[in-house]
Amino acid sequence: MKNIFSSRAGIIIVGAIIGILAPVLQKMGNPGNMGICVACFERDIAGALGLHRAGVVQYVRPEIIGFVLGSLVAAYIFNEFRSRAGSAPIVRFILGAFAMIGALVFLGCPWRAALRLAGGDGNAILGLSGLIAGIWIGTLFFRSGYNLGRTGKTYTSVGWLLPIFMIGLFILLILNPQIEGEAKSDVLFYSLKGPGAMHASIFVSLAIGLLIGFIAQRSRFCTMGAIRDLILFKQAHLFSGFVALIVFAFITNLILGQFTPGFEGQPVSHTMHIWNFLGMVLAGLAFALAGGCPGRQLFMAGEGDGDSAVFVMGMITGAALSHNFGLASSPAGIGPHGMTATFVGLAVCLFIGFTMRQKFA
C-alpha cells in the first residue's frame, strides 16, 4: 500500500497539523509556548511519579501517552509493528539522560524550541542554533563511521513494554485524579501552581496526542532528522515538515493572540544566551547520536523499537536527575550545576561518538 504521508506533501501536512494543534492545546490550558514539549512533558511525568520533587512540574501528560499509543495503532493497521531491540541499549539510555539534561538547560525539546520561536520568544533562536550545531557535530561522527550497531528482531512483547507502561500511566491518571488544592492524589503528585498546573483536559490532550502519534508514525516526522538530513544529504524532505510546523504555529499564534515578540519575560524561559545555545548543542548531539528527536523516539517505541523505549526511560531519568541536583534551568536562569552538567554531557557524547566508529563494507 502506498504511504501517502511519506510524500513531500504528506510530511508538510503533518508538520502543519502539529503546528496548529500545539498552540490550540496552549489555548486550552497547556503552558505558554508549550502546547507540546516532549522533554518538558516527560519531565512532568517524572515529577508526577515522584522521581523528582520539583513542585511546579508534576503531571502525567496524556499527550506523551497518546504519542506512543497513536503510533502503535498506526503501526498495527499498516503492518509495520516490528519488535526489535539490542542495539547498544546502555548507550541509548545515557544519551537519553544527557539529551534531557541539555534540553532542560535550554528549557525545551526541539518541538518546543520551534513553538517558542513561533510564539515570538527570541531566546529560541539561540536554542535552535545550538540544536543545529549539535546535530552538525553528530553528522561529522556519521561521516566517520559512527553507528550504534545492529538491532535484532525479538519477542513481540518486548516492543509492547513501553506502550504497556504508557497504558499503566493512563490508568494511574484516571484512578488518581487531581484533588482540588491537594498536591498528591494517592500515588500521583500534582502541581498546584507553575507549568505542571497548566493543562488542557485529559481527553483533549489524549485525543490530540493519539492523532499526532498516528500521523507522525506514518510520516516519520523527526525534527533532528530534519536538520541532520539537510546537512548530511542536502535533502529537505523532513526539514519541510519542521518548517511547516513553525509557520503554521506562528499563524495559529497570531490568530489566537498568543504571539508576543521579545527576549525578556517569555513564558518558561531564561535569557542566558550562551546556555540556551550550549544546552541545545548537548541535546542536539545526543539526539543525533541516538538517531531521533524525543518525539521520534516515542513514535519508534510505539512501533516496537525497544531501543527507543530505553532512550525514553533515559530521558525520564535525566529529568529526575536534572531537578534533584539543580541541573535544570528556571525563568531565573540556569541551575547551580547546569554548567557542569552540560560540559560533562558534551564530554560523554564526544566519548561515545569517537569510540563507536566502524566502517561497514
Partner 1 sequence: MAIIVDARGLSCPQPVLMTIGEIKKGSDDIEVLVDTETSKENVSRAATSHKCDVTDVTEEDNFFRIHIKRN
Should residue 87 be labelled a site residue for partner 1 when binding is judged by CB under 8 A? yes
Residue 167 Cβ, how far from partner 1 at the closest point, in Å? Answer: 24
Task: Produce one character per residue of 222-243: b if its CB has 16 or more CB atoms within 10 Å, e if not.
Answer: bbbbbbbbbbbeeeebbbbbbb
Contact 322, 334 (CB under 8 A): no
Site mask, partner 1, residues 173-212, x = CB under 8 A?
A: ----------------------------------------
At 92, list the grid cell.
Answer: 541509548
DSSP H helical segments within 5-61, as ranges?
8-27, 38-48
Q: Which residues inside 250-279 make contact with partner 1, applying CB under 8 A?
A: none
Residue 103 Cβ, how far from partner 1 at the closest point, in Å? Answer: 21
Cα distance between residue 328 and residue 322, in whole Å = 5
Should residue 228 be labelled a site residue for partner 1 when binding is judged by CB under 8 A? yes
> Which distant-in-sequence residues (6+ apart) come within 8 Å of 178 by Cβ?
185, 190
Residue 288 Cβ, how far from partner 1 at the closest point, in Å? Answer: 9
Q: Among 20, 28, 132, 148, indicate the residue that binds partner 1 (CB under 8 A).
A: 148
Should residue 82 be labelled a site residue for partner 1 when binding is judged by CB under 8 A? yes
C-alpha Rg value of the chain to the nearest Å: 19
Residue 310 Cβ, how far from partner 1 at the closest point, in Å? Answer: 13
Should residue 229 be labelled a site residue for partner 1 when binding is judged by CB under 8 A? yes
Q: Among 147, 154, 260, 324, indicate the residue that binds partner 1 (CB under 8 A).
A: 147
Should residue 6 be labelled a site residue for partner 1 when binding is judged by CB under 8 A? yes
**Residue in the block written with cell 513542585:** 55
Contact 123, 266 (CB under 8 A): yes
Q: For strand 184-185 and strand 188-189, is the pairing parallel, antiparallel, or unpaired?
A: antiparallel
Should residue 80 be labelled a site residue for partner 1 when binding is judged by CB under 8 A? yes
Q: Among 116, 220, 270, 323, indicate the residue that binds partner 1 (CB under 8 A).
A: 220
Per DSSP, the three-state class of 185 is strand
> Which distant-in-sequence residues (6+ apart) come within 8 Å of 99 by Cβ?
39, 282, 283, 286, 287, 290, 294, 311, 314, 315, 318
Residue 91 Cβ, how far from partner 1 at the closest point, in Å? Answer: 13
| Residue 17 to residues 11, 23, 175, 188, 208, Cα–Cα distance (Å) | 10, 11, 31, 32, 10
Q: Among 130, 291, 295, 314, indicate the residue that binds partner 1 (CB under 8 A).
A: 291
Cα distance between residue 108 and residue 100, in whole Å = 9
Q: Among 52, 61, 84, 112, indicate the residue that binds partner 1 (CB under 8 A).
A: 84
Should residue 225 be labelled a site residue for partner 1 when binding is judged by CB under 8 A? yes
Should residue 235 be labelled a site residue for partner 1 when binding is judged by CB under 8 A? yes
Stretch that binds partner 1, among 34-42, 140-148, 173-181, 324-332 (CB under 8 A): 140-148
Stretch that binds partner 1, among 59-67, 116-124, 143-151, 342-350 (CB under 8 A): 143-151
Residue 195 Cβ, how far from partner 1 at the closest point, in Å? Answer: 32
Q: Closer to partner 1 by CB, 41 or 146: give it.
A: 146
Q: Closer to partner 1 by CB, 2 or 180: give it.
A: 2
**Could you give the angle at which helices 62-77 and 294-302 cross, rounded to 10 degrees?**
50
Binding site for partner 1 (CB under 8 A): 3, 6, 78, 80, 82, 84, 87, 142, 147-148, 150-153, 220, 225, 228-229, 232-233, 235, 237, 291-292, 360
